[in-house]
Structure 1
Amino acid sequence: MHYVKQISSAQNALVKRIGLLMEKSRERKKTGLFVLEGLRELQLALKGGFKLETVLFQPELITERETSKLLEQCEALELVSVSREVYRKLAYRETTEGLIAVARSKTNTLDTFELDSKNPLILVAEAPEKPGNIGALLRTADAANLDGVIIANPKTDLYNPNIIRSSVGCVFTTNIATGSTDEIIAFLKSKKVSIFCAALSASIKYTDADFSGPSALVVGTESTGLSDEWLRQSHQNVIIPMQGEIDSMNVSVSAAIIIFEAKRQRGF
């Protein structure tokens, strides 16, 4: 690691580049880079094996010495001191300990998705549209210590800043992959994982389903639910009975209820 420079102008080329990475999915995909903010997120990225390329610190909030100590196990990277003006321009919130980092993304394909457990419990979310929902799903997966999360037909890239923030960095430490519905179904079948779809039709109460074996819990969007392909391939559809006037809940809430029932059945 080496100290590079100080940046005091919000018009600096690096600052503009980081701004693009934060705002544009196309830029993140083209460069293979993304931006994270805050001490906890940075520590989880390091724990998850992500390679940091540049770390910006605001010396009024965290010193160069503290930053260097935090990153002493990292390979060579740029360490840049930025002014309060620059930090305010880039930071989503000023309570993130004065740290912003540029890191290299992972491929997150099914080819790299490994299941270490002989009896895996996996969450599959089809086409979630809101980054906040994806983040909430990842936090739930972390809380339940799931074996993995798969996003089918994703509408946004995993390194969207809103996903990173709403997942509180769990996106870095969760075993996660993306793929098409057909690819994921083929993958689950190859691993002999039973598919349980959260659906309104041909369903049994979620507490009556048997999640004790290798299981994938599949949830769709609140507006359209799951595609027909998932329902055709489902081992069993499950439903959470509603006692009020509406027939659905937020996808992250529904997923959490089913996930923790599966965990209960497994003795956790």
Structure 2
Amino acid sequence: MLNLVLFQPQIPPNTGNISRQCVGMNARLHIIGPTGFDLGDNAVRRAGLDHWDELHLSVHKNPDDFLKWLGDRTPWLVTKHGRIRYDKPEFGSEDIIILGSETNGLPEEWLQRWPDTTLYIPITGKIRSYNLANSAGIILAQASLKAGLFDK
């Protein structure tokens, strides 16, 4: 099962939409706190609709708790400053993919710690970035395909 990680998300509907994608693609959602909202927030649950109870969810109350869980594993980090285009890696079925918060992205020390596993999604238009939920969907679908998780 792929692990999709949100670093301190701030916008409830984004997290709700991402939770729905995780249920649909059978991925575990990790949320690193603190968040900009309560996970019981109606906006989160509305976006996740009736699938919230099917979600494989792990909540880490802060970055240190997440890093303890991570141990010596190397995650993929999604950032507009990434080195590798998102469709190039050969993802494994248990990989860990981290997306930053809507307002602050990922911690600089994490980007420096794992520079060789930073991913980017190309932007060809005149926008600063993609919506977090859209980015999560793009990455999660690509990783699932590459890991063979949709093969029957």
TM-score (norm 1): 0.51
CA offset at residue 171 of structure 1?
2.4
CA distance in 1, matches of 2:105, 2:127: 15
Aligned counterpart, 1:60: none
Structure 2, unpaired ranges of 5+: none
Q: Give CA-to-partner distance per residue, 1:140-164, whole Å, 9 cap, x none.
A: 1111111x11111122221111111
> Relative contact order, CA 8 A, sep 6+: which one is greater?
2
Fraction of identical pairs, as percent: 26
TM superposition outliers: structure 1 runs of 4+ over 6 Å:
none
Aligned counterpart, 1:131: 12
Contact 2:78 2:118 in 1 (8 A): yes
2:55 corresponds to 1:174: yes
2:103 corresponds to 1:223: yes
CA offset at residue 225 of structure 1?
1.1
CA distance in 1, matches of 2:109, 2:45: 30
Aligned counterpart, 1:140: 21
CA distance in 1, matches of 2:65, 2:10: 20
2:81 corresponds to 1:196: no
In the TM superposition, 1:40-51 aligns within 5 A as none
Where is the strand percentage greater, Structure 1 or Structure 2? 1
In the TM superposition, 1:26-45 aligns within 5 A as none
CA offset at residue 255 of structure 1?
0.6
CA offset at residue 249 of structure 1?
0.6
Q: Any idea what SS the aligned residue of 2:105 has?
A: coil
CA distance in 2, matches of 1:196, 1:145: 18
CA offset at residue 244 of structure 1?
0.4
Aligned length: 146
CA offset at residue 195 of structure 1?
0.5
Which structure's CA Rg is the greater one?
A: 1
Structure 1, unpaired ranges of 5+: 1-119
